[in-house]
Amino acid sequence: MRNLTLLGDSYLRNGVVGLTRELTVPSSSSGSVIYNYPISFFDLETNITASFSTRFSFSIDNINPSSFGDGLTFFLSPNNQTLGSPGGYLGLVNSSQLTKNRFIAIEFDTKLDLHFNDPDDNHVGLDIDSLISVKTVNPMSRAINLKSGNLITCWIDYLNERKKLEVFLSYSSFKPDEPLLSVDIDLSDYLKDFMFVGFSASTEGSTELHYVENWSFQTLGFRPVRPRIHPHNVSDNTLPLRPPIPVSDSGSRNHKRVGLGLGIGFPAFFCAVLVVFGWVSVKKWRGSKEEKNLKAELVTGPRQFDYKELKLATRGFHPSRILGHGAFGTVYKAFFVDSGFIAAVKRSKHTHEGKTEFLAELSIIACLRHKNLVQLLGWCVEKGELLLVYEFMPNGSLDNVLYPDSENGNPLQWTHRYNIAVGLASALTYLHQECEMQVIHRDIKTSNILLDVNYNARLGDFGLARLMDHGKSPVSTLTAGTMGYLAPEYLQYGKATEKTDVFSYGVVILELACGMRPIERERESQKMVNLVDWVWKLYSEGKIVMAADERMEGDFDELEMKKLLLVGLSCANPDSLERPSMRRVFQILNNEAEPLVVPKAKPSLTFSNSLPLSINEIVSDCEEEVCGSPGSQFEIRVD
């Protein structure tokens, strides 16, 4: 992050770049962020101009949907101080000197500005040294609304050999087969010597917000010595991104005047009246239908699926499509033949409890937007079925990757493990401190952490989650969760707080580092081993790094391993008051804060009322066919 220069009103917060001011009242603002080091696009020796490729994710949100901003751009410029004016200038050019700044830019424009020949208020365009675009396209043709508040991933590819620039957009992390914008153009005259790359955005008397995250950039075609921009996989959205409420436009830009000549005589007049009446009725019906279709496209976020559509996509919920089972339902892989899209469908159990958890999950996760949360795409309530549709995670759950069925499988790489720990910390920071209402997950465990194509963590399964006002005292509830992940005070009093989530997170972190389940039975003695106790014992003996997963065969960063283990212990501290906040954990893992001091001996706690059963007693009471194999987990619910 030290490789970025922030200009104007831009800022950096927990891995996310905000380009304009974050205010609840309308304001005019502009900002840009530029990679510090110039990048060479031209090789003097071979006279070759480089091709380039970049990928990033962005979102454009608005606290007040009726207050429109102007949009953002990705640009290449010979100037490392590129900052333009607020308003329709996209933070790219100065209002008084429109031709001063030199640039190649892809604009994501969210406001109709006739001064720059904008076609509409939702378009993507290629700009070269001017905000009058060379070519534009409306992404609604791909059902993408730039102002939706949803995270949008963009790929921009320029192939010098083909003299072609292509722009791809998607709500998912999968690159579409066909570009949204394709321009046949030779950029070699503009990509001379060195260029700087970055982003800019602007507003004019609005509350529009612009965020950029997860950025990578590379040049292709020759190999001069140049720095590289590394992608950042972890985000922490500073505001819950909500889809804007669509405002219908009752006016039309093209009003047609129709004149009808009345013939002589009653028959001719009567026929003319019928023609006019029929024409008006058809036009009104078509206009109403188009308006409904447009509203359906503009309303983004979770949508209602048709039951037949989901049944067909899952082959009638065929057993071969099962991805996994949860406490409240089964998850199926859904393949939509028409679009080629893949999703995961959660089918809840037909019980009163299942319906309650279904409604809880739908109401909570529908308004959450974060890079490290599984995105809810939609739902279906038909034929007595309760169905939730999620993004499909190609690498499955952390549980399956960390503990594969076959012992011959390759162990999860250390870089992926550490990145998962950081991503999960970022998601919990968002849930605990960034949302309008605090979200307590209550069921953080490896089977509820899914992995995308790049092994980034995505926290899912909000069936047990609870909403709370920030700073409000927790209320006792029915204890629910999985044995080994439950904090001592939660088992005792049934009060779920952000600190009970922190405890569960600590256990997951120790699993990542050690490759052991929270509670395991020793193969030789058949005694139950508690992971937290085992790691703490090694730490007290000064041998904490020996807790590292043996399957990695020492292929890890020792300092990072020690840091992760100590963070895990500090989060799993029996004393909830000594556990850090998730924001502090996130900062420690990102080297933005000093590590916490962990006591050498594990603290012990006593409660006024003792548990009816100890952990060992609960485990020993399980039936042999459930508990007999190493690595079994035990789910408990106290009703």
Structure tokens at 28: 């005019």
pLDDT surpassing 60 at residue 396: yes
* pLDDT confidence tier of residue 36, bands split at 50, 70 and 90: confident
* CB distance 211 to 93 below 8 Å: no
Q: Residues 385, 497: one domain?
A: no
Minimum mean pLDDT among 117-131, 292-306, 452-466: which range? Answer: 292-306
The residue among 478 and 420 whose pLDDT is bigger is 420
Burial class (CB in 10 A: 0-12, 13-18, 19+), 336: middle
Minimum mean pLDDT among 118-122, 140-144, 606-610, 634-638: which range? Answer: 634-638
**DSSP strands (E only) in 258-328:** 303-304, 322-326
pLDDT surpassing 70 at residue 2: no
380/382 Cα distance (integer angstroms): 6
For residue 368, what pLDDT is reported? 81
- Output the pTM of the full model: 0.51
Determine the structural domain holding residue 324 and report its residue range: 303-391
For residue 484, what pLDDT is reported? 83
% of the chain residues with pLDDT over 90: 36
Question: What is the CATH classification number for the domain harbouring 346?
Answer: 3.30.200.20
Among 391, 415, 438, the domain-final residue is: 391
Q: Residues 210, 145: one domain?
A: yes
pLDDT surpassing 90 at residue 195: no
For residue 536, what pLDDT is reported? 95
pLDDT (average), residues 409-419: 89
Q: Does 365 reside within a domain?
A: yes
Q: Does 627 reside within a domain?
A: yes
Among 356, 391, 426, the domain-final residue is: 391
Q: Residues 215, 76: one domain?
A: yes
Minimum mean pLDDT among 225-239, 325-339, 355-369, 461-475: which range? Answer: 225-239
Q: Residues 452, 387: one domain?
A: no
Q: Residues 406, 443: one domain?
A: yes
pLDDT (average), residues 201-206: 88
For residue 235, what pLDDT is reported? 35
**Residues 204-218: pLDDT tens digits?**
888 889 999 889 998
* pLDDT confidence tier of residue 596, bands split at 50, 70 and 90: confident
For residue 66, what pLDDT is reported? 67
**Which residues does the annotation mark as catalytic?**
443
Q: Does 55 reside within a domain?
A: yes
264/275 Cα distance (integer angstroms): 16
Q: Does 520 reside within a domain?
A: yes
Task: Report the range out of 1-15, 365-379, 504-518 with the highest average pLDDT.
Answer: 504-518
The residue among 148 and 598 whose pLDDT is bigger is 598
* pLDDT confidence tier of residue 623, bands split at 50, 70 and 90: very low
Helix (H) or strand (E) holding 379: strand 376-382
Q: Does 269 reside within a domain?
A: no
Among 220, 244, 275, the domain-final residue is: 220
Task: Report the range out of 46-60, 404-418, 521-535 with the highest average pLDDT.
Answer: 46-60
pLDDT (average), residues 359-363: 66
Residue-by-residue DSSP string for 5-39: EEEET-EEETTEEE-S---SS-EEEEEEEEESS-E
Average confidence score pLDDT of the chain: 78
Q: Does 459 reside within a domain?
A: yes
For residue 234, what pLDDT is reported? 34
Q: Residues 360, 455: one domain?
A: no
Q: Are strands 208-220 and 104-109 parallel, antiparallel or unpaired?
A: unpaired
Minimum mean pLDDT among 144-153, 234-243, 326-335: which range? Answer: 234-243
618/481 Cα distance (integer angstroms): 14
pLDDT (average), residues 482-491: 82
pLDDT surpassing 60 at residue 31: yes
Helix (H, G, I), strand (E, B), or coil: what is residue 416? Answer: helix
pLDDT (average), residues 286-301: 42
pLDDT (average), residues 72-100: 84
Question: What is the CATH classification number for the domain harbouring 14?
Answer: 2.60.120.200
For residue 585, what pLDDT is reported? 96
Minimum mean pLDDT among 46-50, 238-242, 320-324: which range? Answer: 238-242
% of the chain residues with pLDDT over 70: 73
For residue 244, what pLDDT is reported? 34
Residues with Cβ < 8 Å from 333, sequence gap 6 or more?
314, 321, 322, 323, 342, 344, 345, 392
Q: Residues 360, 431: one domain?
A: no
Q: Residues 39, 151: one domain?
A: yes
How many domains are contained in the chain? 3
Q: Residues 312, 446: one domain?
A: no
Q: Is 147 known as a binding-site position? A: no
Q: How far is CA 326 from the centre of its chain?
A: 22
Mapped to the 3 state alphabet, what secondary structure does 99-142 carry?
A: CCCCCEEEEEECCCCHHHCCCCCCEEEEEECCCCCCEEECHHHH
Q: Residues 432, 329: one domain?
A: no
**Residues 216-271: pLDDT tens digits?**
998 887 654 444 454 443 333 332 333 332 333 333 334 333 343 434 444 555 55
Q: Does 318 reside within a domain?
A: yes
Minimum mean pLDDT among 14-18, 40-44, 422-426, 617-621: which range? Answer: 617-621
Q: Does 347 reside within a domain?
A: yes
For residue 307, what pLDDT is reported? 93
**Residues 365-386: pLDDT tens digits?**
777 888 899 888 888 988 888 8
425/420 Cα distance (integer angstroms): 8
